[in-house]
Amino acid sequence: MDLELKGKSVVVTGGGSNIGRAIVLGFAEEGANITIGDIDEVQANKVVKLALEKGAAGVQLVKTDVTDLNQVKAMFAAAVKKFGTVDNLVNNVGWDQLMYFTQTTPELWQKIIQINYLAVLNCTRVALDLMIPKKRGTIVSISSDASRQGEPREAVYGGVKAAVNGFMKTIARENGRDGIRCNVVCPGVTIPEDDEEVGKTSLWVNRDAMFTPEQLEKVARALPLRKVGRPRDIANAVLFLSSVRAGHITGQTLSVSGGYSMIG
């Protein structure tokens, strides 16, 4: 199936590691022009090289702290300068620290809110300024099934991701008249294939701090599909929602989690 993404200009935040990396490489295989916004230049530059090898029409890295609106504006300006426009945005950046709510601090709350929500507001606002005049564009935000089910040790993160879900539905309603589609993908537990897929700022830089192998086996056994997710599973959904094949889909929240949440 031709997704008709060849030559499209795509911005992917957090494109250096894990899910973001897989999304970048997926767009590369479709022949897109890709701007990666990431704070980890070492890891993201590895992805730039891989993306070119996989067929990307063009790739650039713009070091970006997506919680800073001025840096976000500079990232989009670089995308427009190099590729002429921005057709697709993927709000992928995310971060959490697993602990029970009573163990958390206000400082941690603010960090989780800024990385997982403020960053989405910043990037979406700047993207809309470019997309509305053209009367076309897609925005896909990566949320989490923790926003739909409730997960121990992810109280603030799950709440913030629920805010992303609601925000994207509103943006879809407000901007559908402008030909702009906005959707959300909610991963479940999604683990990288190997250590080469993660950088020093990734949640998965120390896998055992997230889940022990025994815990991952238990998670897999509890899922209907009996397996945890891999980054490419999420990327496949993002590519479809960004494509013309999903041209009548907007305002949706799609779980890609092996059946963990079955809502609707």
Q: Which residues belong to the active site?
A: 157
What number of other Cβ atoms are within 10 A of residue 249's Cβ?
15
The residue among 128, 140, 93 whose CA lies nearest residue 246 is 140
Pairs from 93-96 (Cβ < 8 Å, separation ≥ 24):
93/13, 93/14, 93/20, 93/37, 93/66, 93/119, 94/14, 94/142, 94/144, 94/161, 94/203, 95/203, 96/154, 96/157, 96/203
The residue among 86, 93, 20 whose CA lies nearest residue 50 is 20
Residue with tokens 């993201």: 44
Task: Say if CB 87 and CB 12 are below 8 A apart.
Answer: no
